Amino acid sequence: MTKLSVNINKIATLRNARGGNTPSVLQAAIDVQRFGAEGVTIHPRPDERHIRYQDAYDIKPIITTEYNIEGNPIGSFLKMVFEIKPTQVTLVPDAVDAITSNAGWDTLKNKSFLSEIISECKRNNIRTSIFVDPTIAMIEGAAETGTDRIELYTEEFAKQYDLGNKKAIKPYTDCAIRANELGLGINAGHDLSLDNIEFFNENIPNLLEVSIGHALICESLYLGMEHVIGQYLEKLK
């Protein structure tokens, strides 16, 4: 069964909009695990517009499943990661002013840079994943960095699926097959939802983990978080 890691960034966005501590990011992390999710994901950014660096430290003690911290590996981010030592760090090439992640790594041009960071993560017993576009060359480049996993950037699949174009899954399936051949674990994330997750999961061989935040939190506003997480788990079987 593919694991579900819930990204709780949007809980922090709501909190920050009003100030104070409501809704509680810590309680959200506790609850998503209690409701059956197999992991908690956060993606702190330098301006701390949603998840704050302090949140990352505060969440660590209440993790009973897996802890995935995503972000651009700038100095302050890496310092935090090496102090917290999460289960997994997902390296994402975010621009400082990006609203959300919008591209994967060029793993060929950035091979040396990524390899150095991944080596340090491994010395700290942190599993590594590289955020990549569904391109075979980028998968092969990722394998050369020594990373444990890749995370397939799924925005284009989600857009095309909404338009009825199910053939848009093919590059993702092809990349998953190649990743399996290269011994890379496969994660996926970005715009996955209750509408498209089952189809995606069925077509990605050996998909280990999906990280879902925006859609899951939006769906939870209408259906309730416990119910929504249960639906995801059922679709990921």
Extract long-range pairs of 199-206: CB within 8 Å, 24+ residues apart.
199/161, 199/166, 199/169, 200/154, 200/157, 200/161, 200/169, 200/172, 201/2, 201/235, 201/236, 203/169, 203/172, 203/173, 204/152, 204/172, 204/173, 204/176, 205/173, 205/176, 205/177, 205/180, 206/176, 206/180
Identify the bridge partners of residue 90 per DSSP, sorted by sequence position: 70, 129
> Which residues, including other chains, have CB under 8 Å from residue 185's CB and lie 6 or more apart?
129, 148, 149, 150, 179, 206, 208
Mind listing the pLDDT tens digit for each residue in 22-63? 999 999 999 999 999 999 999 999 889 999 999 999 999 999
CB 228 within 8 A of CB 220: yes
Q: Which of 66, 190, 209, 219 is catalytic?
A: 190
Residue 146: closest CA among 134, 133, 129: 129
Q: Which of 66, 70, 151, 209 is catalytic?
A: 70
Domain containing 47: what range? 3-235
CATH number at residue 34: 3.20.20.70
Whether 70 is catalytic is: yes
Number of domains in the chain: 1
pLDDT of residue 94: 79
What residue ranges of the chain have pLDDT lower than 50? 99
* List of E strands, 125-213: 127-132, 149-153, 185-189, 207-212
- Give the torsion through C-alpha atoms of 130, 134, 138, 144, to 10 deg: 50
Q: How far is 180 from 150, CA to CA, in rounded Å?
A: 11
Whether 190 is catalytic is: yes
Q: Which of 43, 66, 151, 209 is catalytic?
A: 43
